[in-house]
Structure 1
């Protein structure tokens, strides 16, 4: 076999799987026999009309299994129809016979590659045998072939369109999963890191300063409460289509990252420019990048005493810089997904995000989100 034929032969059945049976199928099975009887009683000039009416009525139930067994139902219908046509030396002239096209459509819409090839062969053989038994006019041959090809093409078109739509939905789901993974990582990592640092500080002073231990426990309780609140907000977004529940922090919420205590480096936030001109999606991305950068600095900056977070909004866009005064790398690019997530967030909005050692010591994360990236 050539490659295209081999590819078609090996093609699986349509995905997603079709419904086994719907109410329309029962309507067709009930209406078609009635139409065949009415047509046979009206068209008295059609030879063997009552025989054909009985055959068409008897074959109508094949429509009930046309999705689950498309090739089998098509083979039964065309085999019986062709046999009766050869026995009566004539083709069926009742218009009700047109429902066979539904079976042909089903093969190309729902069947596997083998079913499509075999179904097409059965239709061609059935038409040839009928033409041999009763030589038709050229116009009838062209018309019959055109109708069969159009029906098969329609089935393929609907099949491919549905498959393309399914792939689009899968891509959207993947993007949503990536977005959720970034949000979960940024939120959980930030708060859990704060809890871990506070717990370490509490362990260090527990024996000498019970009062400090109590303050540390209160701080841990506050961080855990904030973590639960943000996690519940995310779960709420997944459980309801109401966009109003979406956890979309803005630039002003970056101030919530500020922290001054002896157990961890002080976090100082500076906001400059007209924050209200920044779209919500961009502001949320800047907040998450800043949150992740602060978390990395608190976890990895050795000996750091200060973390500076600066946000500047101007005509060009938004610029974010998170800098610490620690010794050595404040983040480890080869581990985790933090830096990758920050870069992905910036890239989705047409911006950039870089992380590396600062010239004067410490570590710096710099992100730029130009207005052209979110207004295009």
Structure 2
């Protein structure tokens, strides 16, 4: 209980409290003539009508600062009504004072935790003092308590809903950042890594075989063109608001490209089992990206590897991916398993309800396995 009270007391103000806007000025401009009209119509029925008119109209400006200074406005409005009977013998009895119901709402909607607690104390202290002095009956005090509580409850509910909405937006932004990080790592980083590896191989073989430099440039050009196309697709999604599923995305059948291109390093063998073309686009793209990242890691880190095997098997319930190589599981390879690549692969599989694991094989090399449900959306 003490922890709950402490958390309420330390609750900060919600962000984005609007300052005075034209609607606030319009509200005051409409209410002030209504106050004057009520005073004229009920002049003979009011106790100290001049004082009641001046106080009611004078408290109207508290509506202009109710969001930015909610506790101060509550203290001014309810404090003024509390001390008025000391001078006039009775509280202002104008119906227009009903506008003050906006102040308890505002203090719970826009105030900090301590401002809400102090405002609650001020409002109920004023109500209790009026009942004690006989200005209102116990029934009226009870009814006033219910009205105040309802206004504060509505303010707290709107505050909670707005906070939940902000948390949802923050979570959505975080998920979008993670998605962009995965896509950048799995597309651009993949092609850049291929260009770097091919450039290193071209430089190493150029003295003995000058034509190797030309071949390296051709491969680098092809990788750069593919990276640029995928980057443009991502930018189109971000800038134009184009749905991501409409952007060009690779499929499982495109895995043959990993084996078909002229690349340095171990050969890539791709085996597809089952109807891979019938997979939903998100699943097919995820399988492609997982295989692409696994092959890139194998080319980069698998020492003395001669072969990389990529196998995709599709059945009625799931699609299974297995990427293995026959290289050495070096310390550098072990360290790379904790990088962003494997994290992104696990996140990508987890978002579709699947799993992804990577580690050294029992005999030799490195193996990545992933299982995704076929009906994942």
TM-score relative to the length of structure 2:
0.91
d(CA) in 2 for partners of 1:141, 1:182: 61
Q: 1:49 to 1:248 in 2, by over 3 A?
A: farther
- Single out whichever of 163-172 and 130-139 deviates more from structure 2: 130-139
Residue 84 of structure 1 corresponds to 84
SS where residue 200 of structure 2 aligns? helix
1:112–1:214 Cα change, 3 Å:
same
Structure 1 residue 335, shift from structure 2 partner:
4.2
C-alpha RMSD over aligned residues: 2.2
Which residue is 1:270 aligned to? 271
Segment of structure 1 superposing worse, 82-91 or 31-40: 82-91
1:25 deviates by: 0.8
2:368 is aligned, of 343, 347, 365, to: 365
Q: Distance in 2 between matches of 1:331 and 1:292?
A: 14
Please, which moves more after superposition, 264-273 or 17-26?
Answer: 264-273
Q: Secondary structure at the match of 1:312?
A: strand
Equivalent residue in structure 1 for 2:339, among 312, 336, 340: 336
Q: CA deviation at 1:150?
A: 1.1
Q: Distance in 2 between matches of 1:277 and 1:23?
A: 57
Per-residue CA deviations over 1:227-278 (Å, capped at 9, x if unaligned) read: 2222232233222322055453322332332245362222232323223432
Bigger mean CA offset, 243-252 vs 164-173: 243-252
Partners of 1:226 and 1:117 lie apart in 2 by 60
TM superposition shift of 1:26: 1.2
Kept in 2, the 8 Å contact 1:33–1:53? The answer is no
Unaligned 5+ residue runs, structure 1?
none
- Pairing 1:222-237 to 2, within 5 Å after superposition: 222-237=222-237
Is the contact between residue 264 and residue 298 of structure 1 (CA under 8 Å) also seen in structure 2?
yes
Q: CA deviation at 1:279?
A: 1.6
Listed one character per residue, the Cα deviations across residues 59-85 of structure 1 (whole Å, up to 9, x for unaligned) are 211111111111111111122222224
Matches within 5 A, 1:1-376: 2-14=2-14, 16-44=15-43, 45-243=45-243, 246=247, 248-261=249-262, 263-328=264-329, 331-332=333-334, 333-359=336-362, 361-371=364-374, 374=376
**Contact 1:29–1:61 (CA<8 Å) still a contact in 2?**
yes
The answer on whether the counterparts of 1:272 and 1:311 sit within 8 Å (CA) in structure 2 is: yes
Could you tell me how far 1:151 is from its partner in structure 2?
0.9
Q: Measure how far apart 1:148 and its partner are.
A: 0.8
- For 1:338 and 1:4, locate their aligned partners in 2 and report how far apart those are by CA, in whole Å: 41
Between 1:174-183 and 1:285-294, the stretch displaced more is 174-183
- Measured in 1, the distance between the counterparts of 2:71 and 2:329 equals 69
Deviation at 1:121, TM superposition (A): 1.6
Q: Distance in 2 between matches of 1:262 and 1:218?
A: 11
CA distance in 1: counterparts of 2:32 and 2:339, whole angstroms: 67
State the SS of the aligned residue for 2:228.
helix
Deviations 1:173-220 (A, max 9, x none): 212212211111112331122111111111112222222211111211
Q: Deviations over 1:141-160 (max 9, x none)?
A: 11111111111111111112
